[in-house]
Amino acid sequence: MNKKNPISKRVDKADFVDLPDLASLVGSGFKPSIPTAVAFSGGADSTALLLACVEQRDLSVNLSNVNPPLRAIHIHHGLQTAADSFAEHCERVCTRYAVDLHIEYVKAAHQLGESPEEAARLARYKAFSRVLSLEWGGEVHDMLLGQHADDQVETLLLALSRGAGLPGLSSMAPRFERLGVRYYRPFLNIGSEAIKDWLRAKGQEWIEDPTNQDTQFTRNKIRAEVVPAIYRAFPSFRQTAARSARHAAQAQVLLNELAEEDLKQVGDPPKIKLLQTFSEHRLANLLRFWFGSIGATPSNNQLQELIAQIVCCKTRAHKIELKLGSGFVTRLGEVLAWSELLQ
């Protein structure tokens, strides 16, 4: 294979025998709701997800003579020279399988105090929401994401390396809702190699993003150096890490339920005087929940600074103004107000 070409070569189907269908690997079966859209980067995981959806769509056609629409969205970040070739590859795949593809161009420059990875992630979710609200008659509300079991392990280790709290240690949820879109991750119980084996058996090419080999990025370093060592020492780590993530997620659900009740008491936007009645830990939990509901992600230092300003806000003349993620939180009369920076 030409190393300059980010596309993997095809593999003859005869090289693999008795490979289980990918849908059966998901566990309870893979039956995406229609209409739905696939987040399609062109990498192995999203390619396998797209093809699994195509197979389910074609099965529906055979059983009911109805051709349900299948959509895909490719996010063009423009962050590397190969980005155009990635988009072209995705167009070819979607044309081959009669999938309606939308390519969305985004700017994912990170703000002060925000990691490039976080900026790109937030930009993708905003783009998905924008596309689904404007394209295809607004009829698509469900999106499928291709993250797999090894991505889950990397996410947990990355969270540990950053001293994350329960939201980070919960890793990736199998289903969630954000900005009016319902998201599903059906591959979280499937390892990366099983997905690639399935694609090779299909003779299907995929993109190998060259930046994934750059160990200057923490996630890539974890993938290349840390995860293999852990798997050698603890062969069942993939399963035990997933169990720990589920425990953290359950605890976070309880904290979210508490924060939801607290937010009802203080209002939305929250009244500063009522915020001052909470303990520091309960206030921090409430503020994280509120910021999460409006798509903002404060760092721990930013959150602690805001709490200190709220506690000190005793007079009408006292101002609150703090840069937080991609925007500002300020005092507006009796309440906190959030405004996003214009890009």
- Whether the pLDDT of residue 13 is over 60: the answer is no
Residue 306's H or E segment, with its range, is: helix 300-312
Tell whether 160 is covered by a domain. no
- Whether the pLDDT of residue 6 is over 60: the answer is no
Tell whether 332 is covered by a domain. yes
CATH number of the domain where residue 19 is located:
3.40.50.620
Q: Choose between 340 and 60: higher pLDDT.
A: 340
55 and 203 fall within a common domain: yes
| Whole-number pLDDT of residue 131 | 94
Tell whether 241 is covered by a domain. no
| Whole-number pLDDT of residue 155 | 94
- Core vs surface per residue 265-286: b (16+ CB within 10 A) or e: ebeebbbbeebeebeeeebbbb
**How far from the centroid of its chain's Cα atoms is residue 197's Cα?**
24
- Whether the pLDDT of residue 10 is over 50: the answer is no
180 and 287 fall within a common domain: no
Tell whether 247 is covered by a domain. no
48 and 127 fall within a common domain: yes
191 and 274 fall within a common domain: no
- Structure token digits, residue 238: 């993939």
Instruction: Please report which confidence band the pLDDT of residue 67 belongs to, taking 50, 70 and 90 as the band edges.
Output: low
Tell whether 218 is covered by a domain. no
- The packing angle between helices 280-293 and 300-312, to 10°, is 120
Say if residue 35 is preceded by a cis peptide, omega within 30 of 0.
yes
Residue 109's H or E segment, with its range, is: none
Cα 215 to Cα 194: distance, rounded to the nearest angstrom: 24
Tell whether 48 is covered by a domain. yes
Q: How many domains are there within the chain?
A: 2
Of 77, 105, 76, 7, the closest CA to residue 47 belongs to 7
336 and 195 fall within a common domain: no
308 and 184 fall within a common domain: no
Residue range 100-127, pLDDT digits in tens: 999 999 886 666 555 667 777 888 999 9
- Whether the pLDDT of residue 326 is over 90: the answer is no
Q: What percent of the chain has pLDDT over 70?
A: 85
| Whole-number pLDDT of residue 62 | 63
Q: Choose between 28 and 116: higher pLDDT.
A: 116
| Whole-number pLDDT of residue 292 | 87
- Whether the pLDDT of residue 27 is over 60: the answer is no
Residue range 181-199, pLDDT digits in tens: 999 998 998 899 999 999 9
Tell whether 223 is covered by a domain. no
- Core vs surface per residue 228-244: b (16+ CB within 10 A) or e: eeeeeeeeebbeebbee
Q: If you average pLDDT over every residue of the chain, what do you get?
A: 85
CATH number of the domain where residue 324 is located:
1.20.59
| Whole-number pLDDT of residue 278 | 97
Owning domain of residue 322: 267-340
Strand-pairing partners, residue 299, are none
